[in-house]
Structures are given as structure tokens and as C-alpha cells.
Chains A and B, each alone.
Chain A
């Protein structure tokens, strides 16, 4: 005995359709929360990350005692919150003697944990402590530039993973058309050693140069911190494959038999199939007569022709 349940209001229906899986996805939302104990620096880090991503982030202010991302049972709460708020990225902060100023950045696939990176924050410098010309302050929601310096990002597995996660976290909406006047901010990440990354947020200033391309100048604006990679969990292969699947409709189809020539322009090739003269369909077929008669007639004509020839 099944009953069809549909939302009673159009607004609820629109919300459900927003959260449904789509071919081309909207931007990922981030959930920022903290655990049993946090330090002052960690609180500041979490609020600054929230301010950097104000448009598409949700910040929970209460402490969550039962979340332990790296343990097998401790992720149920996280998955539930991810389902509730429709967030597929989360930043979980906690502070303990063993792991001071700890941040766990994780991604979810289908509201289940996909991968995790645990980093420690050192030498944190907040936005308010940097002095700069207020006119340069980047706007919320502007698409950032990224600069990844250092060979660690290519060679060390943990730093590679961290690079992916940082790109996913801070890149904003994926757009096809970009307004060049709205380019404000830069994230600079330097791999200092095999597990330490310097992370800074700078404002961008475009100065006039002779050519079309302006001269770029970076002014340190926002939070800057040292990230020490502690633990990480990569996704398992099957899940990774499934998550990276591109739908068939979005793969660009190659146009066949078309080529461009500098002189003639666009040229197309047409292939003409071989003509089968013997078995071509004739316009006149003796229809309306039984098959034997038809065949006999056809034979009879041949005989007549033969007779005529003999004569």
C-alpha cells in the first residue's frame, strides 16, 4: 500500500528541486562547525573562513561533541548536517593537547564522506591585523586567482590532496563568462616543506601597462596562516571513479568530415557509396499479379528479347 507524497506548497517543491542531482551542478556549499573545545585562534580562523565564503557557507555556532571525522562511527552527525543544509564541503575545527588548532576539511559525495584532510593552523594572522588601503578590499563572491608554489604540490601525496581540497573550497562558482573588472583576490599557497604550506589571501591591484594586459600587484589583506598536514584520507577507487563521471551528454562531440582551410574556408567531405547497378530498384514493378506470373512475365520478356535478336 503506497501513497504518493508531494510537497504542499510550490516553495517547498522549488527547494526540493534545487537539491536534486543535476547534470551540471551548482556550486558546492560549505558547512563550518567546531567540536568540543576550540581555542581563540581557531575561533578566529573559522569566522574568517566564513567571511571569505559568505555567499555559500553555513556556520554552526554550537559545539558538537560527538563528531570525530576520522573514526568510523563519528561521521554520522556530519553526514546528517550535510543532508540537512545541502552542503558538500565542511570545515570542522577542534582543539586538544595532542592536536592543537586542528582543522578537518572534508568533502562529501551523495552526503557521505568522500575524503578528509586534517591540518594544524600555526602563526595565524587575521584580516583585522593587516593594514591596507580600504579601497582595495575584495568583494564577497568574486572569483579568486590561485598560485601554488613549490614542488611539494606535485610530489608529495598529502600536499597534492590538500591542493585539490583548497581549490575546491575557495574557487567559488564555476562560470563560463567572467567580467574582468571584478577580479579582486588571490590565494597564494607555498609549499615550504613536505608537510607545511604557507597560505595567504591577498587583494589584487591591476595597474596600467602599455599593453592590453595590466600589471598585477598583490597586497596582503586577509588571513595568513601556516598549514601543517597531519592526517588525510583519500577516497577509495570505486567511489572516486563514480564521482568523476562526466555525463554522456556533456562530452563535446567531434564534428566529422569537416576541416578548415585558410584559402577556401570551411570544407566538408562527402563520401558517395558504390552504385549497385544490378540490384537497383526500378521505377516499374509488375505489381498486382501473382508472384509466379510475375516471374514468368519477366522470363517471357527475356525470351522475347532473345528471339528478336535471333531474328
Chain B
């Protein structure tokens, strides 16, 4: 109430008194005196509020007199925007049109079969679908259809339809901005293309490959990239070329000798036709015939490219090399 009481404005709803007409006669330097004057003047203002307050009609309560305060006259801003009224759902519109009233149903219903009171829904309910021992056949039933499965699938369809309707209602409410406070609509998967197909899930290996490619495309080859917790170290993080040490002894394990021996033996073995390696010849013949058979089978039945044995590229290269060396000779 914005009453004027002895020159003060009173806001009873906030228990506040505003005394704008007071003027300090002299600017008091002493702080204590200033304080005392403030308090004494404050007392006068509060007395005015208390006058108005205690003159209101009061009811007696156990703890003391209770007074009904008028609404405050100074306006304050709200802390949150006003709630928007939610739009009517399609069922609500239909109900209003038809004049259907919402009747409250009892939680317990009397079950005639067992002569007892059972719940309407939940554990041990009346007319439970799963409890039916016998379903009588009707004239309209087809011979091969399982009636129990049919009932179950019908129920599933009904539940799905209800869920779809619920989502539709919530989307309509979210459009207006009147979503209920405890509900959030979250996107499960964001389609990049225009089609409605759900995106394929990426496997762990694919992700590792892509991460490796991204790492090697950096200027420092991915050596100094920060790795997340749980990410495995790169597969081949050492050097690809191995150089022998500069100074080395000439004993049994001398590396340079071993390296050169290895290369020479390989070359000689490829080009020497003196010793006929029977085992190797048989293996080569068998491999060739296997391949022929597999090709024939492959033509008759369609197999995907994934099932075909991949040829290693290195073998082709070595045969090419040997043929060229032979020619040079």
C-alpha cells in the first residue's frame, strides 16, 4: 500500500518506508553522530510502518497474531519469463469436440474370475493379456495364424503408435516453446545427406587409420600430437631405415658382413638354375592348380571381393626384377 503517513511513503507489502523529505541540517563530521541521527530518523519511519501494520485485521495463531499483508506496491522484475500455455494435443481437441469428460478411474478393480480385488495395471492385474490359457477361434480367423503372437504384435503396434503420437505432441509443444520442464528432446543422429538413412557406425580400426593419416599429414609427422587417454601409440614410430654403426668389431656378430651375405644369397638363389628344389617346385605347381580351381568356382558362384585371397604385391615385384636381371646377362 502506497500510503502517505506523516510525510512518509509506505510500502506495506515489502515493509518499507521511504522518507524523501528529510534534510540534514548540517553535514555532521563525526560519524557516530551521523549514525545516531540516521537511526533515530529510521526509528520514526519504522514506527509509521508498524502503525499501519498493527492496525490491520489480525487472526490469532499459536505462535502469535497473523496478519494478511497487502501486495507490495514497488514492482520488481521477474527472474524467469512467464510460462507459455501448452498447445492442445490432438486427443484433447478431439475430446473437446466430442464433449468427452475425463473420468477418474479406481486403482483397484474387482476381478470376477478370481473373486478378488486386483490392480487395474501393473503386477497381477485384471485381464492380463499374458494370462489367457485359451483363445477361442472365430469364423473370421485364418487357419495358419497364431492368435497369441497376433495379440502380442497388436499390442506392440499400439504401444509404438502411442509413442509416435507422444513424440508428435512434444514436438508441437517445443515449437511453441511450451515443453514440460522435465522433458528434453535430443537428436540421436544428425543426417549429413538429405536422405533419412541413419549414418553407418565407424569401426575402431577405421578410426585408428584415419587418426594415423591425420597425424602423418602434419608437419612433424604426428610425433608431437597430444594423445587422448586410452589412445594407442603409433604402430611404427621408429625410423624406417636402419643404418649400421660406424665403428664395429669383426667378430661373429659383425653386422655389415651379415647384411651383405644376406643380399648376395638372395640374388644367387634366384638366378642359379643348378640345384633343383623339388619341394619348391611341387609347392608352386599346387598353388597354380589351386588358383585355377578357385577361379572356376568363383565364376559359378558369386563371391564378394572381400572373400578373395589378396595377392601380396611384393611377389610380383621380385619376379619382375629377376626377369630383368636375367635379360641384362
Residues of chain A whose beta carbon lies under 8 Å from any beta carbon of chain B:
1-7, 12-13, 16-17, 19-23, 25, 28, 88, 107-110, 114, 123, 143-151, 153-154, 164, 167-168, 171, 174-183, 186, 188, 190, 192, 198, 200, 202, 204, 206, 212-218, 220, 224, 235, 240, 242-245, 247
Query: Please, could you name 26 A-B residue pairs with CB atoms under 8 Å apart, sorted by A?
Result: A2-B167, A2-B185, A2-B187, A4-B184, A5-B186, A12-B182, A17-B182, A21-B81, A25-B78, A108-B79, A109-B80, A147-B16, A148-B20, A149-B22, A150-B19, A151-B23, A153-B20, A154-B20, A175-B69, A176-B69, A180-B67, A186-B46, A206-B50, A213-B54, A242-B81, A245-B82
Q: What B residues does A168 contact at CB under 8 A?
A: 76
The 4 closest A-B pairs by CB, nearest first: A181-B64, A20-B181, A243-B77, A88-B79
Q: Do A110 and B81 have beta carbons less than 8 Å apart?
A: yes
Quick one: which of B17, B54, B81, B181 contacts A19, CB cutoff 8 A? B181
Give the distance in Å from the alpha carbon of A217 to the alpha carbon of B83 in the complex.
44
Quick one: which of B17, B79, B166 contacts A148, CB cutoff 8 A? B17
Query: B72 at interface (Cβ–Cβ under 8 A)?
Result: yes
Question: Per-residue CB proximity of B169-193 to A under 8 Å, as 1/0?
Answer: 0110000000001111111110100
Give the distance in Å from the alpha carbon of A198 to the alpha carbon of B34 in the complex.
9
Q: Which residue of chain A lies nearest to B40 when distances are taken between CB atoms in the complex? A: A218
Q: Which residue of chain A lies nearest to B54 when distances are taken between CB atoms in the complex? A: A213
Q: Which of B8-25 contact A (CB under 8 A)?
A: 13-24
CB A249 to nearest CB in B, in angstroms, measures 10
Q: Do B69 and A164 have beta carbons less than 8 Å apart?
A: no
Q: What B residues does A182 contact at CB under 8 A?
A: 63-64
Q: Do B43 and A216 have beta carbons less than 8 Å apart?
A: yes
Quick one: which of A20, A108, A164, A215 contacts B76, CB cutoff 8 A? A164
Q: What A residues does B41 contact at CB under 8 A?
A: 147, 149, 190
CB A28 to nearest CB in B, in angstroms, measures 5
CB B59 to nearest CB in A, in angstroms, measures 9
CB A306 to nearest CB in B, in angstroms, measures 49
Q: Do B35 and A151 have beta carbons less than 8 Å apart?
A: no
Q: Do B13 and A213 have beta carbons less than 8 Å apart?
A: no
CB A247 to nearest CB in B, in angstroms, measures 5
Q: Do B17 and A146 have beta carbons less than 8 Å apart?
A: yes
Given the interface contacts A1-B198, A3-B187, A21-B82, does A244 sit within 8 Å of B75 by beta carbon? yes
Give the distance in Å from the alpha carbon of A123 to the alpha carbon of B171 in the complex.
57
Q: Do B80 and A147 have beta carbons less than 8 Å apart?
A: no
Q: Do A153 and B18 have beta carbons less than 8 Å apart?
A: yes
Q: Do B38 and A200 have beta carbons less than 8 Å apart?
A: yes
CB B301 to nearest CB in A, in angstroms, measures 39
Q: Do A2 and B66 have beta carbons less than 8 Å apart?
A: no
Q: What A residues does B183 contact at CB under 8 A?
A: 4-6
Q: Do A178 and B45 have beta carbons less than 8 Å apart?
A: no
Residues of chain B whose beta carbon lies under 8 Å from any beta carbon of chain A:
13-24, 31, 34-35, 38-39, 41-43, 45-47, 49-51, 53-55, 58, 61, 63-69, 71-72, 74-83, 166-167, 170-171, 181-189, 191, 198
Give the distance in Å from the alpha carbon of A200 to the alpha carbon of B20 in the complex.
18
CB A179 to nearest CB in B, in angstroms, measures 5
Q: Do B15 and A143 have beta carbons less than 8 Å apart?
A: yes
Give the distance in Å from the alpha carbon of A178 to the alpha carbon of B58 in the complex.
10
Q: Do A213 and B55 have beta carbons less than 8 Å apart?
A: yes
Q: Do B77 and A144 have beta carbons less than 8 Å apart?
A: no
Q: What B residues does A198 contact at CB under 8 A?
A: 34-35, 38
Q: What A residues does B68 contact at CB under 8 A?
A: 176-178
Q: Do A1 and B66 have beta carbons less than 8 Å apart?
A: no
Quick one: which of B16, B39, B75 contacts A202, CB cutoff 8 A? B39
Give the distance in Å from the alpha carbon of A185 to the alpha carbon of B67 in the complex.
18
Give the distance in Å from the alpha carbon of A20 to the alpha carbon of B43 in the complex.
41
Q: What A residues does B15 contact at CB under 8 A?
A: 143-146, 183
Give the distance in Å from the alpha carbon of A131 to the alpha carbon of B282 in the complex.
111
Give the distance in Å from the alpha carbon of A224 to the alpha carbon of B38 in the complex.
12
Q: What B residues does A13 contact at CB under 8 A?
A: 182
CB A233 to nearest CB in B, in angstroms, measures 14
Q: What B residues does A235 contact at CB under 8 A?
A: 77
Give the distance in Å from the alpha carbon of A218 to the alpha carbon of B47 in the complex.
10
Which interface residue of B14, B24, B53 has the most chain A CB atoms within 10 A?
B14
Q: What B residues does A145 contact at CB under 8 A?
A: 15-17, 46, 49-50
